[in-house]
Structure 1
Amino acid sequence: MTARSLADLVKAYDVRGTVPDQLDAEVARALGVAFAEVVIGPDGAPGCVIGHDMRDSGPALVEAFADGVCSRGLDVTLVGLCSTDGLYYASGALELPGAMFTASHNPAQYNGIKLCRSAARPVGQDTGLADIRTLAERILDGDVTPEAVATPGSRTERDLLADYAGFLRGLVDLSGIRPLTVVVDAGNGMGGFTVPAVLGTGAGLPELPIAVEPLYFELDGTFPNHEANPLEPENLRDLQAAVVAHGADLGLAFDGDADRCFVVDERGEPVSPSAITALIARREVARAVAEGADAADVAVVHNVITSAQVPEVIEATGARAVRTRVGHSFIKAEMARHGAVFGGEHSAHYYFRDFWFADTGMLAALHVLAALGEQPAPLSALMADLSRYPASGEVNSTVSDAAAATEAVLAWGEQQGVTVDRLDGLTLVHDGGDGDPMWWLNLRASNTEPLLRLNVEAADAATMERVRDAVLAIVRS
């Protein structure tokens, strides 16, 4: 990053970079001024809410950002330590735009900001973030000096953890479930802060028949035990071993800012986020119907990489499956457009209409606990019909010409008699109509790296491996 360019810091969906060479107090203050000018003021809000995760750099960056907002005559509500979904709760409950200082699962030297409008509505490249970046750069360059305001905004500190916990518990009934033992790996991230409040009695909530075995609950932004990124299989190994050692009913793993939740069954086997998406979709559709909705009027959103079983399960309930691009801004926009009750992604982001269409790993965890505890079978049996198709997982390849590699895969696919769509990258679907097993693949270019990301799923493991290997041979040649 050059001295006054924020191109490497301000991404498509958030702000993220290393401290202090990319993100320091001066940059944070300029971003706070820009957020006030681009989002808070035009939205007619009196101020914003700001939270941060456990990284050591967070408080100083929050102070600088808050100073920038207050310099525009707007008020700041500081909620201190919180998860990203805790910040979304604050934005929704207080009806204020929000700024969450976190770099999610990135290493300790990183920090960043996830921004939202009031009611947790997303701020992305096309919904204000590009304008925030441009204005912040001009402020840093001295090209723009905002006029002084007569009265700077005020700062107020507020603890919303108990309110957040009570709100989530009010959305899922856990009162009648059977006793469960759950191992929770917080990865030294914010799950260690929120899980005791939500599953325990510290927030003044009724006691649940759930025994929590904590793993790495100590807040530590240096991540001394493993990266707080459960999407990487290596980071699940401690949880898997602990579930078996404790004879637990399941395991839960949260990423650094606790907006994503991953699940391990009683055997220590990971449960795919697509299976969790299908499970929660069934529950949310059933609840909507029980409350009087016609199933045909209920929608659930999923991205292009979730398993083929997800729309199958949704449509089996009588509800509508809405397919969209990968990324929270696309999921949230489609959910709002269709009034969808739920949305899920392959990356373990889960979105709920009753949570301002925002993503919350903790609410997803409560649904899994309720579904398991409402019946006698182990989690592996409960999820058996939701794990229908072998999948490759995301396989990354470094390429010099992503477009040429993609077109080569398209040419190969057309020889296989596939259906083609380009909603998000290249998706090829072989429906099995010619007697060969069903398979599909998606090939997407990274926005930030010279990578192509491949996902393959098929009716059987041999077909999945054949398609995966054939495409990788093309891409990597």
Structure 2
Amino acid sequence: MPDLASIVKAYDIRGTVPDQFDAAAAAALGTGFADLVRAEGATKIAVAHDMRDTGPELARAFAEAATRAGLDVVLAGLCSTDELYYVSGILDIPGAMFTASHNPARYNGIKTCLAGARPISLDTGLAAMRDRAQAILDQREEPTTADVPGTITERDFLTDYAAHLRTLVDLSGIRPLTVAVDAGNGMGGHTVPTVFEGLPVTVVPMYFELDGTFPNHEANPLEPANLVDLQKKVVEAGADIGLAFDGDADRCFVIDENGDPVSPSAITALVATRELARDPGATIIYNLITSRAVPEIVAENGGTAVRSRVGHSFIKAEMARTNAIFGGEHSAHYYFRDFWFADTGMLAAMHTLAALGQSDRPLSELARAYERYVASGEINSTVTDAAAKQDQVAAHFATEELDRLDGLTVTFADGAWLNLRASNTEPLLRLNVEAPTPERMEGLRDEVLAIVRG
């Protein structure tokens, strides 16, 4: 019997199929989700899945359980995660997206949201959904059975989703661009052709065949090894830009014309600048391991930069609290007020294409204006007591500016900073360092690692 406590995470569900997550578990979770959203007045939900082989069966089991509980279900079929958010937003109904994002083929999971693509976390419903489903699986409780069951309606939203995105970013007047796109055999291969159709963009496709076994490389562009093929293709094809999507296509990484990665912090600053031009004085959210160039550039463009903890539940909460127009994370999640405060890699990619296409400069030069500091990238260390190591580092830098918003952040007078955060799931400390020069970054990095790994 599946133990749902092992697969229900802080803000999504993810486990291996079928030992941790099977059709019975999906059905039980469908009941739990139905009970949760019916209590908020919902009568209809949307359900979709990515290209993983197990997606259709799991999504159908979830949907049928929800109809037995009395809800109508819009079964949206193949979707990227941000397409499911579009469906939830445009129909103003809760949604469930079956995906394990960039995880290996044996995984599947669910990302859920309330009406209007509002996020659900453990504290706001996932725990209750998990506990109800576990009681059903353990046969301690019966599934909810309505007097009048709901119905399932199948509908494809891809064309409508693409049209909506194109109302938010106008690409019609840009100079012609050649764009290499690595979909990683994930949902970008499904969405990119429709979104870019008819635009002055020539797409050089890579791994567009939908294949949840990921035969070419993991669909996780956060790992540098998974960008190598795209970097080569950009140079070989003479492309103006490269785009790499993760498995469910809610994240997008950018490669310049020389085959070099453009940091997500630079993309955050670039998109923030464009959004502030449209809405002067607006608020921009950035997480605390994003480059300090982001709040500097936001301030220079008349905006208000608000610092957040790492993680999409925190970003989305700050977006809603401040009515921010845009938010960005180092992990290449980008959030838009005009997209129900939800994250969409495709919309960030379109903003980048618009900026490039409206400029006569190559992307490497365009991006340089947004990259002011040298970053270490995230460095993991295995530790037995993360809190004790953080305290040691804090004591070492006791005369500097310290804060504990998310782990330990130390800020230095010369503009350098470091952050140490404990993993929620593993005995790891994650170190990020940024400084004005490579030498300063490397020296600070090594100084901290000597303490952490001492």
Q: After TM superposition, is the score higher than 0.5?
A: yes
TM-score, with structure 2 as normaliser: 0.99
CA distance in 2, matches of 1:146, 1:452: 41
- Say which is worse superposed, 65-74 or 220-229, in terms of deviation: 65-74
Query: Equivalent residue of 1:49, what SS?
Result: strand
Query: Structure 2 residue aligned with 1:361, among 328, 345, 348?
Result: 345
Q: Deviations over 1:1-51 (max 9, x none)?
A: xx353111100010000000000011111100000111x202211121000
Query: Structure 2 residue aligned with 1:26, among 24, 36, 40?
Result: 24
Query: Equivalent residue of 1:386, what SS?
Result: coil
Aligned residue type for 1:401: D
Aligned residue type for 1:385: A
Aligned to 1:322: 306
Aligned pairs for 1:346-357 within 5 A:
346-357=330-341
Query: Structure 2 residue aligned with 1:234, among 211, 220, 225?
Result: 225
Aligned to 1:187: 184
Aligned to 2:94: 97
Aligned to 1:210: 201
Once the two structures are TM-superposed, the CA of residue 365 in structure 1 deviates from its matched residue by: 0.4
Aligned to 1:342: 326
Aligned to 1:124: 121
Aligned residue type for 2:417: W
CA distance in 2, matches of 1:20, 1:146: 21
1:472 aligned onto 2:454: no
CA distance in 2, matches of 1:68, 1:445: 38
Aligned to 1:87: 84
Query: Structure 1 residue aligned with 2:420, among 433, 438, 443?
Result: 443
Q: How many residue pairs get matched? A: 454
CA distance in 2, matches of 1:269, 1:422: 34
Aligned to 1:76: 73
Aligned to 2:236: 245
CA contact (8 A) 1:183 1:251 kept: yes
Aligned residue type for 1:407: D
Aligned to 2:112: 115
Aligned residue type for 1:234: A
CA distance in 2, matches of 1:51, 1:418: 49
Unpaired runs of at least 5, structure 1:
201-206, 290-294, 433-437
1:430 aligned onto 2:421: no
Q: Deviations over 1:72-109 (max 9, x none)?
A: 11111000000000000000011110000000000000
CA distance in 2, matches of 1:147, 1:338: 38
Aligned to 2:141: 144
Query: Structure 1 residue aligned with 2:210, among 209, 219, 222?
Result: 219
CA contact (8 A) 1:4 1:141 kept: no
Once the two structures are TM-superposed, the CA of residue 147 in structure 1 deviates from its matched residue by: 4.9
CA distance in 2, matches of 1:386, 1:66: 45
CA contact (8 A) 2:13 2:109 kept: yes
CA contact (8 A) 2:410 2:419 kept: yes
The Cα RMSD (Å) is 0.9
Aligned pairs for 1:382-397 within 5 A:
382-397=366-381
CA distance in 2, matches of 1:373, 1:251: 14
Aligned pairs for 1:41-80 within 5 A:
41-80=38-77
Aligned to 1:462: 439
Q: Deviations over 1:210-236 (max 9, x none)?
A: 100000000000000000000000000
Unpaired runs of at least 5, structure 2:
none
Task: After the TM superposition, list the runs of 4 or more consecutive aligned residues in structure 1 that deviate by more than 4 angstroms.
Answer: none
- What is the identity percentage for the equivalent residue pairs of Structure 1 and Structure 2? 65
CA contact (8 A) 2:86 2:117 kept: yes
CA distance in 2, matches of 1:217, 1:4: 33
Once the two structures are TM-superposed, the CA of residue 146 in structure 1 deviates from its matched residue by: 4.0
